[in-house]
Structure 1
Amino acid sequence: MGATVEELGAVVLDGLRTAGYQESTVGQYEKTIRALTGFVAARGGVYTPALGAAFARLTVSPRTGRFSAQRRLDYNRLVALLDTYVLTGRFDLATRKRGGGGPRPASEQFVALDASWEQDMADRGLAPATRAAYGRIARAYLVFLEDQGVTGLDGADGASVLAFLESLTERWARSSLFWVVSNFRPFLKFTGRTDLVDAVGLAGVRRSHRILAVLDDADTQHVVQACTGPAVSARDGALTLLALTTGLRACDIVALRLSDIDWRGATVGIVQQKTKNPLTVPLAALVLARLADYVLDERPASGDDHVFLRSVAPYTGLADHASIYRVIAQTFRTAGLAQVKAGTSFLRHNAASKLLAASVPLPTISAVLGHASQESTSTYLSLDADRLLECVLPVPVGGRS
């Protein structure tokens, strides 16, 4: 016989308090446990992953009648904890991520398909960030099918793929759908349904290339001053400076370990999460000094050897790219640049543009950014506005109006 939510909830709360979670967080879990208790009690009283998935999909607030991001966060993270316990007999508090990977399917066939897809990605050694992105969009499609009354892949067709992509335009800009499709197509290929793969092509989603702004010298100086000043913690300052000066990807900053830093040689050496290629980049003296400030004076004692840890218990590595974005965005706000949508993607573009403006060859820029192909670097040519203007041809006299 399975356990009740009350029994599981008591263990969860005890584990959270033992791990040093703040009482405000524990209280939020208690509130969610009460909601889940009532939901499961009306359906037999015994918790199952299928009931948990159905509960996690209740993301619309009955008070406002609108989607609630907080409800989705609270419901998904509790269900993820309970599912881990049901499957393994223990709670893994170190792996909680914001949002819990989105809604999950509830039907038996789709739960099995989702598990098979996750296992396939793990077997192929895909990077954690890639697996998370692929898994999230796959589950969103399966949940969409269930909302249409379809509980098995046999009931899906090309029209469902097009309808699913169209439904995403309520939350995604059309210019961003290219990335959704890029993450969605591998799952459809995994299913072996060529008709579903072909349907993605019929959606006509194309990649757009924007000419992105970069930091001027004055803004860069503001960021550097903020990172080295008292208003920004050593961790956040070191992290932002690292991204600003090296152009490292967020997933590589998350995965960075103490042993990756060569303090004497002033370099950091990693195996890239995305390409699996080795990469060594130099560390500016300012970055190295701020890293030392963090490691020696501020970094909490922990058995976790990731360089950047959470600032509150549990003291484990940062969860994902969203954690990196929040740190950099807050640092930019402190620097007086709240209008800049800063993140590691922006800072990679910024680093590339600075190198390009300094006449550094594209192969060298490609090596610094850790691109697997130089073709990936050519997109940064669009960032050098001055050189683009040099390519503009004058309008012939006869063509002027």
Structure 2
Amino acid sequence: MSMQPNGRPLIPWNRGRVIGQKLPLKLRDIFGIRVRLQLQRRVRDLALFNLAIDSKLRGCDLVALRVCDLAREGGLGTRAQIIQRKTGKTVQFELTEQTRRAIMDWINRRSLTREDYLFPSRQRPETHLSTRQYARILKRWVASAGLEPSDYGTHSMRRTKPTLIYRRTHNLRAIQLLLGHTKLESTVRYLGIEVEDALALSEETEV
């Protein structure tokens, strides 16, 4: 074992921590968490959970959404677009019917106006939910589904739908656009595509 100059053992900084990409949710996990939130009538959490999966946004962009970012005259649109904080580039995303319904239930519950943050902080309503609090909420979700919380993070929500789409279509370009990545290489790394995936695709292609 390595020792510090003072003679004490040198303990690795990452000892006991899970390092690397956080896991995406599987379909059974999504359904399990969603049903629990519905049964518990966790209106805010259900809206946040559904929107996190549909939007594929980074946590900092998700929590900073305002009602007007999604609202259209007479309700919510089926699509929305925002400018990403990290890249400054515009990204579009879809809003499924169940997500729109959950968001509208939340908006009506809190009587939110167009300029309000969609997920205001409970301590300071004039600000939005923090990314740290979002991360804590997510840990509760995955724990309720019997998953190991340390294996999941806010990027798990961002990766979930793209991973499912990729497994079904193998369309990297589509995933790149959905995630707002500038380079395709970034999408490959983000999805964690391995050599076996590439070989499997090659084997399926006859020329």
Q: Normalising TM by the smaller chain, what interval? A: 0.7 to 0.9
**Percentage identity across aligned positions?**
24
1:257 equivalent in alignment to 2:66 = yes
Which position in structure 1 is the counterpart of 2:135?
325
The change in CA–CA distance for 1:358 and 1:288 in structure 2 (over 3 A counts) is same
Question: Which has the higher relative contact order, 1 or 2, with Cα contacts under 8 A spaced 6 or more apart?
Answer: 2
The change in CA–CA distance for 1:382 and 1:279 in structure 2 (over 3 A counts) is closer
The change in CA–CA distance for 1:301 and 1:362 in structure 2 (over 3 A counts) is closer
- The separation in 2 between residues aligned to 1:383 and 1:222, in whole angstroms, is 26
SS at match of 2:93: strand
1:358 equivalent in alignment to 2:168 = yes
- Count how many residue pairs are aligned between Structure 1 and Structure 2: 188
Letter in structure 1 aligned against 2:104: A
TM-score, scaled to structure 1: 0.41
Deviation at 1:264, TM superposition (A): 4.4
Contact conserved, 1:246 with 1:369, CA < 8 A, in 2? no
Contact conserved, 2:44 with 2:106, CA < 8 A, in 1? yes
Out of 295, 298, 307, the residue aligned to residue 118 of structure 2 is: 307
The change in CA–CA distance for 1:366 and 1:230 in structure 2 (over 3 A counts) is same
Which position in structure 2 is the counterpart of 1:295?
107
The change in CA–CA distance for 1:302 and 1:267 in structure 2 (over 3 A counts) is closer
Letter in structure 1 aligned against 2:118: V
Letter in structure 2 aligned against 1:218: R
1:379 equivalent in alignment to 2:183 = no
SS at match of 2:192: helix
Structure showing greater radius of gyration is: 1
Out of 25, 28, 31, the residue aligned to residue 215 of structure 1 is: 25
Moved over 4 A (4+): 300-304, 383-386
SS at match of 1:377: helix
The change in CA–CA distance for 1:328 and 1:170 in structure 2 (over 3 A counts) is same
Deviation at 1:230, TM superposition (A): 3.7
SS at match of 1:270: strand
Which position in structure 1 is the counterpart of 2:86?
274
- The separation in 2 between residues aligned to 1:209 and 1:267, in whole angstroms, is 32
The 5 Å alignment of 1:25-64 reads none
Contact conserved, 1:244 with 1:348, CA < 8 A, in 2? yes
Deviation at 1:351, TM superposition (A): 2.2
Contact conserved, 1:309 with 1:318, CA < 8 A, in 2? yes
Deviation at 1:387, TM superposition (A): 2.9
Letter in structure 1 aligned against 2:157: L
The change in CA–CA distance for 1:389 and 1:249 in structure 2 (over 3 A counts) is same
1:347 equivalent in alignment to 2:157 = yes
Which position in structure 2 is the counterpart of 1:173?
14
Contact conserved, 1:362 with 1:374, CA < 8 A, in 2? yes
Contact conserved, 2:119 with 2:129, CA < 8 A, in 1? no
Q: What is the CA deviation profile of residues 303-335 of structure 1, one whole-angstrom value per residue up to 9, with x for unaligned ones?
A: 972110123x4313335321211122222333x
- The separation in 2 between residues aligned to 1:333 and 1:209, in whole angstroms, is 20
Question: What root-mean-square deviation, in Å, do the aligned CA atoms of Structure 1 and Structure 2 show?
Answer: 3.3
Deviation at 1:302, TM superposition (A): 8.2
Question: Which runs of no fewer than 5 residues in structure 2 stay unpaired?
Answer: 1-9, 202-207
The change in CA–CA distance for 1:171 and 1:320 in structure 2 (over 3 A counts) is farther
Letter in structure 2 aligned against 1:265: G
Out of 348, 352, 367, the residue aligned to residue 177 of structure 2 is: 367
SS at match of 1:318: coil
Deviation at 1:382, TM superposition (A): 2.7
Contact conserved, 1:353 with 1:380, CA < 8 A, in 2? no
Counting helix residues as a fraction of each chain, which structure ranks higher?
Answer: 1
Question: Which runs of no fewer than 5 residues in structure 1 stay unpaired?
Answer: 1-168, 177-207, 392-401
SS at match of 2:81: strand
- The separation in 2 between residues aligned to 1:254 and 1:225, in whole angstroms, is 22
Contact conserved, 2:159 with 2:191, CA < 8 A, in 1? no
Which position in structure 2 is the counterpart of 1:137?
none
TM-score, scaled to structure 2: 0.75
SS at match of 1:317: coil
- The separation in 2 between residues aligned to 1:348 and 1:323, in whole angstroms, is 16
Deviation at 1:171, TM superposition (A): 8.0
